[in-house]
Amino acid sequence: MWTLSLMLACNAVGGPSVDSAAAPDTGDSGEPASQTCEPLRLELVASWDGMEIPSVSPSDSAWPGVAIGDVTGDGLPDLVGAFPGGAVLFRNVADGAWNAELLAVEGIDSPSSRSVALADLDDDGDLDAFLGADLGSPSYLMYNDGTGDFAASPLEDFPHRAWSAAFGDLDGDADLDLFAATYDADLDLDAILAGSHGGGQSILLQDAEGRFVPSPNAAPPNTDNALSLQGALLDTEGDGDLDIYLANDFGPYLVPNQMLVNDGAARFSTAGTSGSELAVYAMGAGVGDANGDGSPDLFVTDVGPPHLLLNDGAGRYADATQAMNAYIPATSANLVSWGAAFVDLDLDSWDDIVVSYGGLGSGIDVTALENADPTWSDDLDQASLWLHNQGGASFERDDAAFTDLARARGVAVGDLDLDGRPELVMYGKLYVHIFHASGGCGPGVAVTLRGPPGNANGFGARIDAIVEGRTTTRWMLPSVTAGQSALEVYVGLGLSEEADLTVTWADGAVTQVGEVEAGSRISVGRND
């Protein structure tokens, strides 16, 4: 626990170096400077439930994924939903209006799918897609014509169930690769308890012809038996390449969560005892900076209380769940957490955490699981919530933000109405809900990136913003459980009127953006 005490102490007292992401100026009193920000309010502004979703049938039981991005080329962020009955385009038609329709795919019906990720794969300026399928159905790369009509290219030699997917340059060759978290098992509890399941990790490297080719030996063999629901990309030890954090289900019986450390050429090894190897029932992992030290931390979901892990900057983690008041007791309303996202909801410059909850409903007796509490009750509809960051020293739980109980599976973040602050898209069995945020502090800054050929959206870039003398850090790492947040980052400024921005690209190049006014939406190019 030496790591945890050191990180929390450094954050609490601040420090003289801006580059070290010290805490805010405390003034003469030693207390954080007071702000007059308003309470945060979340309002449900759009929803699709059950058969209001075009591809959903009464027999559907699988859960969806949702990605945010402008796929129709009109400048408005849309939603692409992955559903077993076919992918769905939720078309943003402005002023809070949406049209839901089956995704248009040349020559075939909209594919059955369960996960989705977006990126400009062919450098033509629009967003293409990966649609991950269930066992027995093909997964596809979907190439956009710029209007939301797609041409489908089935992924060869990829027979897996892709539960989540993430794009990033894994092998250091300046183009995008793909990690797909695989869960090649039905919920056969007897087989799982016997310790046998899983189909290996799916790392697909893009070759010179733009093909995504499976690299079966890239991940260490001791992860082959894992049931992974998400592989969260991050640079865990700050060496400039993207590592992968595996969020694994049934960790007490099969493979615990693992940090796959990249050698820079997409050859991965397990980190050993990094402190992140949790033997839990992980459904996802959010990546963000919880304590303001400029290193990527993890929020790991679970059956039972989830976990906040602080990174010391060298890839070593300490469990700060209790110390930072991020502990969420297991109750019938908060038993099974799935997706988690770091986002500065109230724009005070500190990343909050949104956690989605929903019952398993799979016939599994949760009280019989390893490490379970016999009093647990797995209600189908549970209460999602957000943890409000209190200046990097602790979190304050807000149960009133989401007024409805639901069977949630994930959360994605994006500025859907282009007002400069993010909305939340909650999705689950079987619904998609959009929540608009208001209140909080003054306007922040929204940043999109124009990367080099091969990585046009700037995946893996780091954005540092100096706000009132303190550096706050974000990363272009949009993957979430089964889906993807928008390809932009949001920097709250508290009550400040400006921030000084710097972008460090995935290849190590640096763009000094300079001062940006509050309320700005800016696009930063690799060669600006």
Sign of the dihedral through C-alpha 30, 295, 354, 357? negative
Helix (H) or strand (E) holding 9, with range, is helix 2-13
Q: What is the predicted pLDDT for the residue at 225?
A: 86
How high is the mean pLDDT of the chain?
Answer: 90
Which of 413, 440, 467 is the last residue before a domain boundary? Answer: 440
Tell me: pLDDT of 224 over 90: no
Same domain, 177 and 54: yes
Tell me: pLDDT of 26 over 60: no
Domain range for residue 279? 38-440
Which residue in this structure is represented by tokens 């009127």?
A: 497
Q: Is residue 30 part of a domain?
A: no
Q: What's 374's DSSP letter? A: T
Residues 6+ apart with CB under 8 A from 189: 364
pLDDT tens, residue by residue, 81-96? 999 899 999 999 989 9
How many Cα atoms within 13 Å fall on the side-chain side of residue 364?
Answer: 20
The total of structural domains in the chain comes to 2
What gap in Å lies between CA 240 and CA 371, rounded to an integer?
37
Q: Which amino acid is at 298?
A: L
Q: Which candidate, 62, 199, 74, places its Cα nearest to that of 482?
A: 62
Same domain, 176 and 139: yes
Same domain, 449 and 417: no
Enumerate helices (H) and strands (E) in the chain, giving the number of each: 2, 38
Q: Is residue 168 part of a domain?
A: yes
Q: Is residue 60 part of a domain?
A: yes
Instruction: Name the region of 293 (left: φ>0; alpha: ψ -120 to 50; beta: rest).
Output: alpha
| Mean pLDDT computed over 42-60 | 88
Q: Which candidate, 288, 369, 309, places its Cα nearest to that of 336?
A: 369
Same domain, 494 and 424: no
Same domain, 133 and 205: yes
What gap in Å lies between CA 485 and CA 487, rounded to an integer?
7
The CATH number of the domain where 266 resides is what? Answer: 2.130.10.10
Q: How far apart are the first and last CA of the chain?
A: 43
Q: What is the predicted pLDDT for the residue at 187?
A: 64
Q: Is residue 421 part of a domain?
A: yes
Same domain, 361 and 453: no
How many Cα atoms within 13 Å fall on the side-chain side of residue 15?
Answer: 15
Helix (H) or strand (E) holding 151, with range, is strand 149-154
pLDDT tens, residue by residue, 398-435? 887 887 799 999 999 999 999 999 999 999 998 999 99
Q: What's 331's DSSP letter? A: B
Contact status, residue 459 vs residue 466, Cβ threshold 8 Å: no
| Mean pLDDT computed over 173-184 | 93
Same domain, 419 and 291: yes
Q: Please state which of the ranges 31-40, 178-187, 334-343 shows the lowest mean pLDDT.
A: 31-40
Q: For residue 22, what pLDDT band results from cuts at 50, 70 and 90?
A: very low
Q: Is residue 27 part of a domain?
A: no
Same domain, 283 and 406: yes
Q: Is residue 110 part of a domain?
A: yes
Same domain, 404 and 346: yes
Which of 392, 411, 440 is the last residue before a domain boundary? Answer: 440
Residues 6+ apart with CB under 8 A from 47: 431, 432, 433, 434
What gap in Å lies between CA 184 and CA 134, rounded to an integer?
9
Which of 440, 471, 499 is the last residue before a domain boundary? Answer: 440
Same domain, 206 and 323: yes
User: Phi and psi of 524, rounded to 5°?
Assistant: -110, 125
Q: Is residue 256 part of a domain?
A: yes
Contact status, residue 116 vs residue 160, Cβ threshold 8 Å: no
Q: Which amino acid is at 291?
A: N
Tell me: pLDDT of 151 over 90: yes
Same domain, 381 and 504: no
pLDDT tens, residue by residue, 312-371? 999 999 999 999 999 999 999 999 999 999 999 999 999 999 999 999 987 788 998 888
| Mean pLDDT computed over 475-488 | 98
Q: Which amino acid is at 227?
A: L
Same domain, 377 and 493: no
Of all residues in the chain, what percent carry a pLDDT higher than 70? 91
Q: What is the predicted pLDDT for the residue at 8?
A: 45
Q: Is residue 266 part of a domain?
A: yes
